[in-house]
Amino acid sequence: MEKRTGHALRLEHIGHRFQNFEALRDVDLEIRAGELVALLGPSGCGKSTLLRILSGFLRQTSGRVLFDGVPVDHLAADKRGVGIVFQNYALFPHMTVRQNIAYGLEAQGWPRARIGGRVDEMLDMVHMQAHGTRLPRQLSGGQQQRIALARCLAVDPKILLLDEPFGALDKNLRLDMQMEVKRLQREYGITTILVTHDQEEALSMADRIAVMNLGAIEQIATPAAIYDQPATAFVNAFVGATNLLDGRIVEGGPQRCVVELADGVAWRLTPGRAIASGTAVRVSVRPEHWRIDAESGDGSEKAHAQAHGDGDPAGLMGHIDAVLTLGPQFVYGVRLDGGASIKVAQSRPLAQRESLAAGARVRVTPVLPDACQVFPVQGQPA
């Protein structure tokens, strides 16, 4: 399969209003040629509105859309060279697989002699050579998704838009199709935008993720940076599971700070931003970033010794409320002595057959202090 040259996309100060409702607020986004970027956010955040503007189905209130540096705002949807794959596939039910793929080529006026070869190329690309004469109803959901993608790519679009494309598939098939689409996108070299509310989908597929909230982009970065270094409390809470512990800055600084938690234990952390002493904060620790140990004593001496030291944060005492076995992981619900409830995820080694029991007294300790995120409580000065 011939690899195409991707096209660059730039959005400049995009805004849109529906009467008195501001759906998009000054959105700036630059997508490199051949890149796959996910627009991730909750329902109502503006990602679907942005997709409609990109595709030409909706004219923005303000700002510009540029392909390869050239404005396309004046172009209708059918003139922009944008391909869209929807969640419901939108295949023509009365047409065969081959006829569905050929439809866009015929609409563009391709010579009939070339259409057959192009359809063969697309069927080969999605590994559906043996299904060309079938109707959509004779295909599985994953097969229909492949044909929808082949039909879209057949006309060689400049930009590929994927609008919640895997939402109708079961979990295992969804994972298979995510890998398949990622492979095709890489091999084909097409610039792609994935619109989704599924964080796992965005994290697994995208080169970069733009997290949207209330009509604006809160952060755009690689999946690893979004997960490990969230720029805002919203991004931290929306992407991945986490635990939030209330605390207060007792020693502020541009590089390090000391946070006193509700149960009196103090942690020396790297907040990534200067936060003034006295500020109420929330400390975020991912479930997989804890160590959990059965505890026979009260641990007070160790906690006191580490409270204001430069070593690892002191452990927090509590008891196990519940235990879940999720395939390769144990997930513990732990009620801390300070009153907070947290989740702790531990990988389950092959040799370990039993988890800690509900009711057990435990100590939980962050294993990656630098991965602890510190966010001022809303309304507090940073």
State how far the Cα of 307 lies from the Cα of 335, in Å rounded to an integer: 21
State how far the Cα of 69 lies from the Cα of 62, in Å rounded to an integer: 17
**CATH number, domain with residue 366:** 2.40.50.140
| Amino acid 46: pLDDT | 95
Residues 222 and 260 placed together within one structural domain of the fold: no
Q: List the end-to-end C-alpha distance of the chain, in Å, as a whole number.
A: 53
Strand 290-294 with 361-366, pairing: antiparallel
Strand 36-40 with 191-196, pairing: parallel
Residues 230 and 86 placed together within one structural domain of the fold: yes
Nearest CA to 185 out of 33, 74, 310, 339 is that of 33
In a domain, 381, yes or no: no
Whether residue 51 is predicted with pLDDT greater than 50 in this model: the reply is yes
State how far the Cα of 161 lies from the Cα of 138, in Å rounded to an integer: 26
Q: What is the pLDDT of residues 215-229, one digit of tens each?
A: 999 999 999 999 999
Residue with tokens 């982009």: 217
Q: What is the pLDDT of residues 153-210, one digit of tens each?
A: 999 899 999 998 887 777 777 888 888 888 888 888 899 999 999 999 999 999 999 9
pTM over 0.85: yes
**CATH number, domain with residue 183:** 3.40.50.300
For the chain, the domain total comes to: 2
Handedness of CA 70, 76, 79, 80 (dihedral sign): positive
Of 40-54, 64-78, 183-197, 217-231, the one with minimum mean pLDDT is: 183-197
Question: In terms of residue numbers, what domain contains 193?
Answer: 9-235
Burial class (CB in 10 A: 0-12, 13-18, 19+), 10: middle
In a domain, 300, yes or no: yes
| Amino acid 76: pLDDT | 94
Domain-ending residue, one of 235, 255, 275: 235
